[in-house]
Amino acid sequence: MTSLELQPASSRAVEQTEQIENYGSKTDIDLVESAGAGRAATYEESLAARLPKAHRDYLLERHGTLNLDPIPGMGPADPYNWPEWKKMANLILVAFHACMGTFTAAGIIPAFADIAAELGCGLQQASYLTSLQIAILGGAPLFWKPLSNRFGRRPIFLLSLICSLVCNIGCAKSTTYASLAACRALVAFFISPASAIGSAVVMETTFKKDRAKYMGVWTLMITLGVPTGPFIFGFVTYRAGYHWIFWILAMINGGQFILYLFLGPETRFVGSGVDRPVANWKTEYLSLRRIDPTPMTAYEFVHPLTMARHPSIVIPAIAYAMVFLFGNILATVEVPQLLQEKFGLNAEQLGLQFLGLIIGSVIGEQMGGVLSDLWMSRRGKRLGRNAEPEFRLWLSYFGFAFSIIGVIVFLVCTQESASGHWNVSPIIGTAIGAVGSQLVTTVMMTYAIDCFPHEAGSIGVFITFVRQIWGFIGPFWFTPMFTNVGVAPSAGIGAALIVGASVIPTIFLQWRGRFWRQQDGE
């Protein structure tokens, strides 16, 4: 019996629920209620009690409880029944793979001056090598998602890494701006799958009670890729030259490929209606055949964009994209122009300026992931049922506040600092903004997937698309804004945009979200 998502959002889930109800009896439910030491059985336990006895016994032996959402199938072939070490190894690989997308895009930031000098282009033109990848990272997953649904996640990830390795070697050997830009574009296209369909992998392997925590690991790694790339490659650029950035990236891709071969099993589990008593090692690690026979249509390649019709998805996407723009993109892309020129920093010193973003992102994830799950769990226990997804949104307001404060501190302190004398205050601002950005990231992504769990893959692709395209556009108007308005006054524009595009829509979402979900047929 295949895994059952308790929110019957798809016809398949409804059919499975009806099948389970055919097994049930009042006696079964009484067994669960009596096992609860006097408390009423939860909805999950009541639904699980309708399963065949052998299935219930298996779940109790494997998980120690029937209070599971979704209810796994019977047997280790279902990823929900994998050992924790196997789930974590796979999740770490996918999260690191997602990190490599933004890590690769931002990694050359400390080398902008060296690239401009060697290739005979301006500093602004050199920055387009990062902007180009930001845009492609947003659009490319539209191509990869349908393929991963048919052939599985594992083959796509392996293809992604081997092609990225080859293209990074091409970057290292490039001698002209055009050839470097072309190779960078190909790298972004091939490295992009995990940054979007990683949400589907999390959904396919973790239970709802832990979803924010594990979703947070994936989103944190995407966020950390932005500052960690320039932080590390600042040293590389200064000590060995910028060409070594691409050689190191190629080596990392090769290492990932080898680890995936042994620790990255297939998570796309298409049940056949027959439970498998043992895991099929060949299916998980060796199979490269099509695992879903459903015919592929052209519509599937644009289906993620149709998520824009759901307010419970498009509002979190826009709110998150605006916060990410000012909390991460602004504090990353503009550092060379704002801080390097003002303080006279070399590539190595420039890389150190991204330490604030790294620290802030890690702190923010503790609030957005672990605290978010605890927040929802306590609410559920108080109500005696699953908490409404909108209750999670309360935590996002802390993220908005931190983001606004961080933008103000960063830009105001940058303008007020004396030229030629380094000041830590702008970096404190980026750290505060990163706390808010990461908190909002995890909360908004988890909320959207909680509302439409059967669309986890499409939601990841859509939100990534919105974030990356908005992040691509931003750097084109940052510089004119600083020139015409001033660096410090621009903080007011950033704060106003976050309030207008993130805070106010989230208030409406929290008020009307349940009604909108019911209208959408959740």
Residue identified by tokens 């249509």 is: 297
Where does the pLDDT of residue 503 fall: very low under 50, low under 70, confident under 90, or very high at 90 and above? very high
Average pLDDT over the chain reads: 83
What average pLDDT score do residues 512-518 get?
A: 83
Q: State residue 76's pLDDT score.
A: 77
Q: State residue 105's pLDDT score.
A: 92
Q: State residue 24's pLDDT score.
A: 42
Candidates 201, 163, 186; CA nearest to 461 is 201
75: left (phi over 0), alpha (psi -120 to 50) or beta: left
Where does the pLDDT of residue 274 fall: very low under 50, low under 70, confident under 90, or very high at 90 and above? very low
Locate CATH 1.20.1250.20 in the chain: 82-270+295-519
Alpha-carbon span 97 to 201, nearest angstrom: 12
Alpha-carbon span 319 to 513, nearest angstrom: 15
Where does the pLDDT of residue 208 fall: very low under 50, low under 70, confident under 90, or very high at 90 and above? confident
- The residue ranking higher by pLDDT, 517 or 505, is 505
- Which of 32-36, 50-54, 386-390 shows the lowest per-residue confidence on average (mean pLDDT)? 32-36
Where does the pLDDT of residue 29 fall: very low under 50, low under 70, confident under 90, or very high at 90 and above? very low
Distant-in-sequence contacts of 391-396, Cβ < 8 A, 24+ apart: 392/212, 392/443, 392/446, 392/447, 392/450, 393/443, 393/447, 393/506, 393/509, 393/510, 393/513, 394/510, 395/367, 395/368, 395/371, 395/439, 395/443, 396/319, 396/439, 396/440, 396/443, 396/444, 396/506
Which CATH class for the 82-270+295-519 domain?
mainly alpha
Q: Is the pLDDT of residue 199 over 90?
A: no
Q: State residue 282's pLDDT score.
A: 59
3-state secondary structure of 4: strand
Alpha-carbon span 246 to 325, nearest angstrom: 26
Contact (Cβ atoms closer than 8 angstroms) between residue 74 and residue 58: yes
Cα-Cα end-to-end distance for the chain:
23
Contact (Cβ atoms closer than 8 angstroms) between residue 123 and residue 248: no
Where does the pLDDT of residue 59 fall: very low under 50, low under 70, confident under 90, or very high at 90 and above? confident
Q: Is the pLDDT of residue 91 over 50?
A: yes
pLDDT winner (highest mean) among 161-165, 374-378, 468-472, 509-513: 161-165
289-326 pLDDT, tens per residue?
Answer: 677 778 888 888 899 999 999 999 999 999 999 999 99
Q: Is the pLDDT of residue 28 over 70?
A: no
What average pLDDT score do residues 422-429 get?
A: 91
What average pLDDT score do residues 510-519 get?
A: 84
3-state secondary structure of 495: helix
Q: State residue 13's pLDDT score.
A: 43
Q: Is the pLDDT of residue 276 over 90?
A: no
What average pLDDT score do residues 219-241 get?
A: 90
pLDDT > 70 fraction of the chain, expressed in percent and rounded: 86
Q: Which segments of 325-424 does DSSP mark as H helices, in order?
A: 330-333, 335, 341-343, 347-352, 355-365, 371-383, 396-416
- Which of 98-112, 243-257, 279-293 shows the lowest per-residue confidence on average (mean pLDDT)? 279-293
Q: Model-level pTM?
A: 0.78
Q: Which residues pair with 4 in a beta bridge?
A: 71
Alpha-carbon span 437 to 423, nearest angstrom: 23
Backbone angles phi, psi at 4, to 5 degrees: -120, 115
Q: Which residues pair with 71 in a beta bridge?
A: 4
Alpha-carbon span 448 to 451, nearest angstrom: 5
Q: State residue 72's pLDDT score.
A: 78
443-474 pLDDT, tens per residue?
Answer: 898 889 888 888 877 888 899 899 989 988 88
Residue by residue, DSSP assigns 50-93 as TS-HHHHHHHHHHHS-S--SSBP-SSTTSGGGS-HHHHHHHHHH
Q: State residue 419's pLDDT score.
A: 84
Where does the pLDDT of residue 432 fall: very low under 50, low under 70, confident under 90, or very high at 90 and above? very high
Cα distances from 162 to residues 75, 155, 157, 158, 182, in angstroms, run: 33, 11, 9, 6, 17
How is residue 252 written in tokens?
């990392």
CA dihedral 462, 102, 322, 485 (to 10 degrees): -140
Alpha-carbon span 418 to 121, nearest angstrom: 29
The amino acid sitting at 446 is T
- The residue ranking higher by pLDDT, 197 or 112, is 112
Q: Is the pLDDT of residue 5 over 70?
A: no
3-state secondary structure of 303: helix
Backbone angles phi, psi at 299, to 5 degrees: -60, -30
Q: Which are the contacts of 38, defined by CB distance < 8 A and separation ≥ 6? A: none
Assess whether the previous peptide bond of 52 is cis (omega < 30° from 0). Answer: no
What average pLDDT score do residues 430-435 get?
A: 94
- Which of 16-20, 381-385, 421-425 shows the lowest per-residue confidence on average (mean pLDDT)? 16-20
Q: State residue 3's pLDDT score.
A: 45
Where does the pLDDT of residue 521 fall: very low under 50, low under 70, confident under 90, or very high at 90 and above? low
Candidates 464, 494, 482; CA nearest to 105 is 464
What average pLDDT score do residues 163-172 get?
A: 96
Q: State residue 197's pLDDT score.
A: 81
Where does the pLDDT of residue 371 fall: very low under 50, low under 70, confident under 90, or very high at 90 and above? confident
